Structure 1
Amino acid sequence: MTLNFLNKARTAAAPVLLMGLCLTGLPAFAQDCEIKLGTVGPMTGGGASWGLSEKAGVEFEAAYVNANGGVQVGNRKCKVKVVAVDGLSTVAGGAAASNYFASEKVFAINGPVLSTEITGFKPVSKRNNQVNFATGFAKDVIGPDFPLAFHKIQSPPAWGPLVAKTAKERFKLKSAVVLGPNDQGGTDAGTQLAKIYNDTGVKTGTEWYQRGTTNFGPIATRIMNMNVDAVDVTTMPPGEAGILIKQLLEAGYPGVFARLGAGGDVVIKNSGGIEKVKNFYWFDHVPTENPAIKKLTADFERLMKAPVPDNALVFNAQLAAETMLKAISLAGTDQDGEKIAVELRKLTPDSRYLGKAGWRGKGQYGINQEFSFPVGFNYIQDGKVGAQVKLDIPAE
């Protein structure tokens, strides 16, 4: 994967509550015909790059659709409006977001991102009849008890064994440690990842810390004493992961860093770039070097007049928003989550960029409401960037 992202400027931090994207210079729409898409994730704090990238992906899809005449709803063409809320990386933030969306009559939502936010959001959104595309790795991110919840990425059991095997062989790994916050956002996925590494033959333990930590000195010392071959920061917010890696490098850690989830490019940038982080493997939830994603990037930068965010979740947010708008068109309304969910289940996921995918999730969650778009494995070895490996994810 090319590292041109290392030269991009950071996007400015968003306010805690972001509402309504007003788009100018767009074609005429039916009078008073507007549909709303919500987006929720951490837009401040250490995980801000996750939430802001999701917001950017939804806003791009809204701008693209509006520039091309809007969404067909019945016999009218409707303008898309985006309502964005900071989920604050907390359970309470997720619950509050759902209630805020309900007050704004938003029933189709992209997010939440973090498992903590999802835990608070799910029961409230069920009462509010809201359909959503979540991002996190919570073990119960979707399931039969929450039929309006969909998943736009796959959790570690779907791709982890193949990625761990590839990393083990390339970097000759024998041992590792998985780090994460000591809440559901860290422990659910971190425990899954540790098991995957162990099953692959890489002896792996876990290390938990308090979310929001800014000094990882004591943890860095413990890791140095462990003498492990790899440090996996998958479930750490990108900002916090960057701090930890910097402190490990300052302490002289000689091993490999890993991030089997979104934000690898951001973590590398925050850690000093490839000249500092010489051995690193990471995972993107789309094959970012695919020509189709390059086309998406060009369309984004042309339409939004801004660089695409460093965090690759922007692409998954676009995929989910595109699919959600198709379902809204078929349902004939954006005001009924159940009707939208019915149409989603009938659809074959089909991106104008990546083409057709399918649904999966039955084996892991008991419900086929998870995208099966392909993913990408990236690595830096001895300071040199390797070619991205595209991995296909089977539908069920």
Structure 2
Amino acid sequence: MAKHWNTAKAAACVATLAASWAVCTPAAAQSCEVKIGVLGPMSGGGSSQGLAEKAAVEFEAAYTNANGGLQVGNRKCKVVPTSYDSQATAAGGAAAANYFASQGVHAAVGPVPSVELAGFKPIAKRYGIVNFAHSYAKDVINTQYPLAFAVSLTPQVWGAYVVKAARDEFKFNKVIVVAPNDQGGTDAGKALVQEYEKAGAKATLEFYQRGTTNFAPIVARLMSMSPESVEFGPMPPGEAGILVKQMLGAGYTGAFGDLGSGAEVVLNTVGDISAQKAFYWLELAPLDDPGIQRLNADYERVTKSKVPDNTLFYPSALAAEHLLRAISRAGTDQDGEKIAAALRETTPESRYLGKGGWRGKAQYGVNQQLAFPIGMGVIANGKRQKDRRIAIASEPATP
């Protein structure tokens, strides 16, 4: 029941999975359905983020269905994913919440940027929709929204390690953080500036209009400022790829940082790893971990397609897995309060990464942020290094 299909291929893939499920799943699992939503930008410059989320939720649904369905009370139920393209706007986030309410969806993965979250949260609260957001918003979770959970970890959590490691590797002192001039860009950009400054670098913010497709004027301005590193973590990956390509074309020889949602989309846009002399980025999962390799293999086996390039896929899969487990524990997919209570009562655990934890009390006042390991990627002198694993501590207070 997806709202905005982006390609015929995506529709065909889901149809194939549905047909396969109908043939292979026991009749008992066909007697009830469990609904899970996913929202994010599935078109435009940030589409790789939303489509990665969508792929993760659809995979968790297909995996569960292929294994007999989700246990809810004394029944095995078919998991039905419902997606919505919230288009990186507040109006899109609000529309997604209203759409989910109309479809009886009370648990969802998303939104992604803060601007979507601003529109989604109040309506989701009204209709009792539990969600796992990826946003870096300073209020992504708080005590005012007890059904709101967070999955992606913010710079305040990993910044001390990642930024220091990048400075040690590439010896930069002057950083420009490029961000869209909206809430999503402002919140993420300010957080990254703080982390760079804590690590001893001088950092400034440079804003641009989200949706830009030609960065030539911005590139000229950046080049005149002589940065030693350009950080584009707050940018949608498609737009970041254009910026990097144009910066290299203008003769930029400094470092690039992508402390946002992974570098694969950007590197694919640029097309030549050897051209990257100094590139560091946040990986939203430890990609070289054996568990992540098993996840990749399961995804390809179940969906007959390759894992999305955007690493937002991995935390989205963790969130969807945990949401389904909470629905099973709550005994319903129609009561957000019960699902949220089941989440709080359960220690996060992944079939791929083992036991995780909850955190967020110190930063947000509530422990409703998933804590699983992440990673850091580095390209130095055109050669990609082995990814570094970063352990994330949970906080002792219960969520």
Q: Could you state the TM-score of these two structures normalised by the residue count of structure 2?
A: 0.94
Deviation at 1:276, TM superposition (A): 2.4
Residues in 1 aligned to 2:242 and 2:351: alpha-carbon distance in whole angstroms: 38
Residues in 2 aligned to 1:273 and 1:364: alpha-carbon distance in whole angstroms: 39
Kindly report which structure 2 residues correspond to 1:23-34, keeping only aligned pairs within 5 A, or say none. 23-26=18-21, 27-30=25-28, 31-34=30-33
Tell me, yes or no, if the aligned pair for 1:14 and 1:52 is still in contact at 8 Å.
no
The amino acid of 1:104's aligned partner reads: Q
Deviation at 1:114, TM superposition (A): 1.2
Partner of 2:111: 112
Tell me, yes or no, if the aligned pair for 1:14 and 1:43 is still in contact at 8 Å.
no
Aligned residues: 384
Deviation at 1:21, TM superposition (A): 4.9
Residues in 2 aligned to 1:25 and 1:252: alpha-carbon distance in whole angstroms: 52
Residues in 2 aligned to 1:223 and 1:320: alpha-carbon distance in whole angstroms: 37
Partner of 1:57: 56
Tell me, yes or no, if the aligned pair for 2:285 and 2:375 is still in contact at 8 Å.
yes
Residues 178-224 of structure 1: CA deviation (Å, up to 9, x unaligned):
00100011010100100110111111100000101111111111111
The amino acid of 1:24's aligned partner reads: A
Residues in 1 aligned to 2:225 and 2:152: alpha-carbon distance in whole angstroms: 32
Residues in 1 aligned to 2:332 and 2:27: alpha-carbon distance in whole angstroms: 16
Partner of 2:301: 302
Tell me, yes or no, if the aligned pair for 2:131 and 2:147 is still in contact at 8 Å.
yes
Deviation at 1:14, TM superposition (A): 4.2
Residues in 1 aligned to 2:167 and 2:150: alpha-carbon distance in whole angstroms: 28
Residues in 1 aligned to 2:80 and 2:359: alpha-carbon distance in whole angstroms: 29
Residues in 1 aligned to 2:112 and 2:31: alpha-carbon distance in whole angstroms: 31
Deviation at 1:315, TM superposition (A): 1.2
Deviates more, 1:292-301 or 1:24-33: 24-33
Residues in 1 aligned to 2:201 and 2:139: alpha-carbon distance in whole angstroms: 26
In angstroms, what is the RMSD of aligned CA positions? 1.6
Partner of 1:5: none
Residues in 2 aligned to 1:386 and 1:63: alpha-carbon distance in whole angstroms: 34
Residues in 2 aligned to 1:13 and 1:172: alpha-carbon distance in whole angstroms: 42
Residues in 2 aligned to 1:74 and 1:201: alpha-carbon distance in whole angstroms: 55
Tell me, yes or no, if the aligned pair for 2:276 and 2:380 is still in contact at 8 Å.
no
Kindly report which structure 2 residues correspond to 1:366-377, keeping only aligned pairs within 5 A, or say none. 366-377=365-376
The amino acid of 1:170's aligned partner reads: E
Residue 214 (structure 1) aligned with residue 209 (structure 2): no
Deviation at 1:176, TM superposition (A): 0.5
Partner of 1:253: 252
Tell me, yes or no, if the aligned pair for 1:350 and 1:356 is still in contact at 8 Å.
yes
Residues 62-92 of structure 1: CA deviation (Å, up to 9, x unaligned):
0100000111111100000000000110000
The amino acid of 1:205's aligned partner reads: T
Residues in 1 aligned to 2:300 and 2:181: alpha-carbon distance in whole angstroms: 37
Partner of 1:125: 124
Partner of 2:266: 267
Tell me, yes or no, if the aligned pair for 1:271 and 1:277 is still in contact at 8 Å.
no
Kindly report which structure 2 residues correspond to 1:84-123, keeping only aligned pairs within 5 A, or say none. 84-123=83-122
Residue 342 (structure 1) aligned with residue 359 (structure 2): no
The amino acid of 2:40's aligned partner reads: G
Identity of aligned residues (%): 54
SS class of match (1:25): helix
Residues 220-267 of structure 1: CA deviation (Å, up to 9, x unaligned):
111111111100000100111011111111110010111012131111
The amino acid of 2:301's aligned partner reads: R
The amino acid of 2:131's aligned partner reads: N
Residues in 1 aligned to 2:355 and 2:310: alpha-carbon distance in whole angstroms: 23
- In structure 2, the CA distance between the partners of 1:371 and 1:285, relative to structure 1 (3 Å rule), is same
Deviation at 1:32, TM superposition (A): 3.3
Please, which runs of 5 or more residues in structure 2 have no aligned partner? none
SS class of match (2:223): helix
Tell me, yes or no, if the aligned pair for 2:36 and 2:79 is still in contact at 8 Å.
yes
Tell me, yes or no, if the aligned pair for 1:35 and 1:81 is still in contact at 8 Å.
yes
